Structures are given as structure tokens and as C-alpha cells.
């Protein structure tokens, strides 16, 4: 049976938002904005259930794009960049059915209506003319119930997969802490200063925030230093008017520690596996060159990443709690390090590398599953509104 089409303007009352997104005083009522999260408001404008549609492109820059529409119940405020659709007759149109339909078909029904060059936007009159299939209310509610049942199952699967990845990461950290605790053969207890041939921070040239192109000189960004993983990508280009400093080049065996930035980005440590001849360290990074007669660079990296060393660094960081914090070279030099003979260091590193490989494999599986789960809900929505659910 062919499902009749009806215009949104006939089915819904359309009300444009009146609240400025950033200047609305906070309060007890949800404020629906273009972003996925809700802000709050001290007053309310509308009472749902309602479907709220952004009137501007989600990406800007002249592109027509709509990442989401919103469903909202109860009393709420609406930002002035959205329009709310409230069913005129709830015995005729279920608001959740409309929400799921528009989420599933926004790229077909709404995005083509977005016009403009710099500021791409939707017009309310164009939204009002959009036609949607309107089956009987019982069928609308059956579709909504089935969608939400499957969405809950997807959410549960995603949560379980995420928990599995987090447990694997916790297992690795536990193994790292145990491996870096002196045991078996006698371990020496010294400081980073005792096992370092040299330690220095880089420089801070005036660089535009432009990534270095292949073959260009770059200045290391702290985001290239991940936990025990050096990823030299998206570094700032060194201005052509400046000469690189030879002594600050990144080389294989360097152990890098981030020394300034947001709290969670300070004290991150990574060893460099190969020479990076066209990359220099920045003033936000401390470079350690290990005395290899005492300690392997990779073992030093893992030792500084282990819970004991991290606790030492966290307790001595300076700066604001949630803003810019710092680790000085003096603090890093005084950080305790315990290490066994070189042969035992290499055995421990190999053991931890094998454990890390297992964790990485699980993370890849989690990411692949997450991508599959993310694609599953749109597929379910598409089937639902083709009558195949």
C-alpha cells in the first residue's frame, strides 16, 4: 500500500528559536543548540515533544551539511539558529517518528534546500514545503519502538566493546608497572640525570600554524608525542627565513617528554625509533639522550611512562590545575629510575612490546567494530522508512 505524503507545514507548527547560544543566562531548562550537547537557560520558550532543525550548515565554509536534528521533550529554550517543529495533532503525527525520519533522510530532504555561498542556510518556508510519508499512527509508533530497541542493542554492544578496550589498557599499565618494579637480578636505583648523556628543551621560533610539507623543516608539536608512541605528523613548518639548529634535530634513540601544555598532555613520553633529519624539538618538549652503556632508550621511555614515575611527575607539575602546566628540566632530572643489566632490559622491553601488540590488536578490533556499529543505525533507519523493518 502506498503511504500518503504530507507537507511539514501542514503537520507541524514551526517556531524559530529566540535564545542567543552564548549569551543566554544558564538555568534549569535545556537550551537546544546546533551542537549535539544541550546548554541550559533560565527561561523556557517551548514545550515539546518537538523536532528541532538547525538553520545553518554544520560545517560552514560554503558547504551544505546537516550533521543532526534534535528531539526534545518538556519545557525548553531554543537557540536562534534553529526552528522547532511541533506536531499540530499528536493523534496524526508522532514527534519521534518525525525525528527518526528526518535523521534518516536529512541528506535527501533538507540538505538540498540549503542555499548561500559563505553562509549556507535553510529557510523555514522551504522546510514547510518538505513532504514526508505519513502512515497510520500505530505504524509510526511500531517503527519508533523497533528503531529504539535496535539502537539500545547497538549502544550496549558499543559500551561492552569500549569496556573491553579499557580493561586491556588497564592490563597493560598493570603489566608495565610490574615490569618496571625491581625484581630478580640486582637493579640500580638512580635518577634520570644519572642515566642521561644530555637533556635539553628546544626552541620557540615564531611559526605560523601551518603544517610542514614533505621535505620542509618542521618544529615538533607536542601532539606528535603520544604515550610510548612517536607520531611525527602535522608539525609546524619552520619559516624559510630561519635556519634549523643542528643540536636540536630529532634522532633515533631520543626520548621525548612533553613539558608544557594542558595537564593531560604534560609528562607524555615517547622514544624515537628512526632519525627525523628535518624536524627539530620545540620549547614545549624536553629531549633526553640516554647513556646506552647504562640504559636502553626504549627502557627509559617505558620507565618514565610507568605509574611510579608518572606519579612523581604529576606531584611536581606547576601551573593551573586545568590550564597550562609545566615540568622543568630540574624535576625531570630528579625523577627516580631503576634499571637492571642491559640484557634484562631488552628482555623486559620485548615482553612489554608483545603485550602492547595484543592491546593494539584489540584496539583496532574495537575501532573497526565501532565503525560498523556507527554505520548500523543509519542502515536500520533507512530500512525502517522503506518499510523493511
Tens-digit pLDDT profile for residues 160-210: 777 777 777 777 778 888 888 887 778 998 999 999 998 888 777 766 666
Q: Which range is least confidently modeled, 18-22, 135-139, 169-173, 188-192?
A: 169-173
Contact 199, 332 (CB under 8 A): yes
Q: Please state whether the peptide bond connecting residue 190 to the residue before it is cis, i.e. omega within 30 degrees of 0.
A: no
Residue 315 pLDDT > 90: no
Note down the domain range covering 43. 5-134
Q: Per the structure block, which three cell numbers stand in for 64?
A: 551544505
Which CATH number covers residue 10? 3.90.220.20
Residues 360 and 387 both lie in one domain: yes
Phi/psi at 340 (nearest 5 deg)?
-90, -175
Contact 84, 66 (CB under 8 A): no
d(CA 307, CA 174): 9
What is the pTM (predicted TM-score) of this model?
A: 0.58
Count of domains observed in the chain: 3
Contact 137, 94 (CB under 8 A): yes
In this predicted structure, what is the pLDDT of residue 3?
75
pLDDT level of residue 322 (50, 70, 90 thresholds):
low
Q: Tell which of 339, 356, 376 closes a domain.
A: 339
Residues 128 and 140 both lie in one domain: no
Q: Per the structure block, which three cell numbers stand in for 370?
A: 565501532
In this predicted structure, what is the pLDDT of residue 208?
66
Residues 110 and 154 both lie in one domain: no
Distances in Å between the Cα of 247 and the Cα atoms of 48, 199, 213, 244, 250 are 64, 11, 22, 9, 9
In this predicted structure, what is the pLDDT of residue 375?
61
> Which of 223-227, 240-244, 273-277, 346-350 reaches the highest mean pLDDT?
346-350
In this predicted structure, what is the pLDDT of residue 297?
92
Residues 27 and 121 both lie in one domain: yes
Residues 203 and 314 both lie in one domain: yes
Residue 387 pLDDT > 90: no
pLDDT level of residue 376 (50, 70, 90 thresholds):
low
Q: Per the structure block, which three cell numbers stand in for 368?
A: 573497526
Average pLDDT score over residue span 156-162: 74
Task: Using DSSP, state whether 174 is helix, strand or coil.
Answer: helix
Residues 85 and 207 both lie in one domain: no
Residues 238 and 277 both lie in one domain: yes
d(CA 199, CA 332): 9
Contact 239, 206 (CB under 8 A): yes
- 174 in a structural domain: no
- With residue 203 as reference, give the H or E element that holds it: none
- 278 in a structural domain: yes
Output 10 or 380, whichever has higher pLDDT: 10
Average pLDDT score over residue span 90-105: 91
Residues 201 and 310 both lie in one domain: yes
Residues 217 and 334 both lie in one domain: yes
- 181 in a structural domain: no
Residues 15 and 87 both lie in one domain: yes
Q: How many CB atoms lie within 10 A of CB 342?
A: 14
Residues 366 and 241 both lie in one domain: no
- 182 in a structural domain: no
The DSSP string of 359-380 is: HHHHHHHHHHHHHHHHHHHHHH
Residue 124 pLDDT > 70: yes
CB within 8 Å of 100: residues ≥ 6 apart? 143, 144, 147, 381, 384, 385
Contact 312, 267 (CB under 8 A): no
Angle at 282 between CA 279 and CA 288, to 5 degrees: 85
- 179 in a structural domain: no
Chain mean pLDDT for the chain: 83
Amino acid at each position: 500500500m502506498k503511504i500518503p505524503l504530507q507537507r511539514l507545514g501542514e503537520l507541524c507548527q514551526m517556531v524559530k528559536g529566540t535564545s542567543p547560544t552564548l549569551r543566554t543566562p544558564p538555568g534549569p531548562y535545556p537550551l537546544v543548540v546546533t551542537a549535539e550537547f544541550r546548554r541550559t537557560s533560565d527561561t523556557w520558550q517551548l514545550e515539546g515533544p518537538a523536532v528541532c532543525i538547525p538553520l545553518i550548515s554544520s560545517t560552514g565554509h560554503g558547504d551544505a551539511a546537516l550533521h543532526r536534528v534534535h528531539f526534545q521533550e518538556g519545557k525548553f529554550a531554543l537557540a536562534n539558529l534553529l526552528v522547532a517543529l511541533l506536531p499540530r495533532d499528536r493523534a496524526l503525527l508522532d514527534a519521534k517518528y518525525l525525528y527518526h525520519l528526518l535523521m534518516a533522510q536529512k541528506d535527501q530532504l533538507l540538505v538540498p534546500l540549503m542555499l548561500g555561498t559563505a553562509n549556507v542556510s535553510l529557510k523555514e518556508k522551504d522546510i514547510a514545503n518538505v513532504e514526508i510519508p505519513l502512515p497510520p499512527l500505530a505504524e509510526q509508533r511500531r517503527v519508533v519502538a523497533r528503531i529504539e530497541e535496535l539502537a539500545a542493542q547497538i549502544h550496549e554492544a558499543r559500551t561492552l566493546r569500549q569496556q573491553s578496550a579499557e580493561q586491556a589498557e588497564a592490563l597493560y599499565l598493570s603489566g608495565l608497572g610490574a615490569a618496571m618494579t625491581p625484581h630478580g637480578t640486582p637493579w640500580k636505583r638512580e635518577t634520570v640525570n644519572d642515566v642521561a648523556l644530555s637533556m635539553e628543551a628546544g626552541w620557540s621560533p615564531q611559526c605560523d600554524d601551518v603544517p610542514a610539507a614533505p621535505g620542509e623543516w618542521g618544529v615538533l608539536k607536542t601532539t606528535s608525542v603520544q604515550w610510548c608512541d612517536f607520531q611525527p605528523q602535522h608539525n609546524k613548518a619552520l619559516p624559510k627565513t630561519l635556519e634549523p639548529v643542528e643540536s636540536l634535530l630529532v634522532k633515533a634513540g631520543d626520548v621525548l617528554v612533553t613539558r608544557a601544555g594542558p595537564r593531560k598532555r604534560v609528562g607524555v613520553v615517547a622514544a624515537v625509533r628512526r632519525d627525523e633529519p628535518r624536524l627539530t624539538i620545540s620549547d614545549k618538549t624536553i629531549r633526553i639522550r640516554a647513556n646506552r652503556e647504562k640504559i636502553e632508550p626504549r627502557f627509559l621511555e617505558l620507565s618514565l611512562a610507568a605509574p611510579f614515575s608518572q606519579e612523581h611527575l604529576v606531584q611536581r607539575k606547576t601551573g593551573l590545575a586545568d590550564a597550562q602546566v609545566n615540568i622543568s628540566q630540574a624535576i625531570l632530572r630528579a625523577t627516580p629510575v631503576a634499571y637492571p643489566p642491559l640484557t634484562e632490559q631488552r628482555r623486559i622491553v620485548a615482553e612489554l612490546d608483545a603485550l602492547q601488540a595484543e592491546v593494539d590488536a584489540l584496539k583496532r578490533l574495537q575501532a573497526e567494530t565501532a565503525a560498523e556499529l556507527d554505520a548500523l543505525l543509519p542502515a536500520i533507519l533507512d530500512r525502517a522508512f522503506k518499510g523493511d523493518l
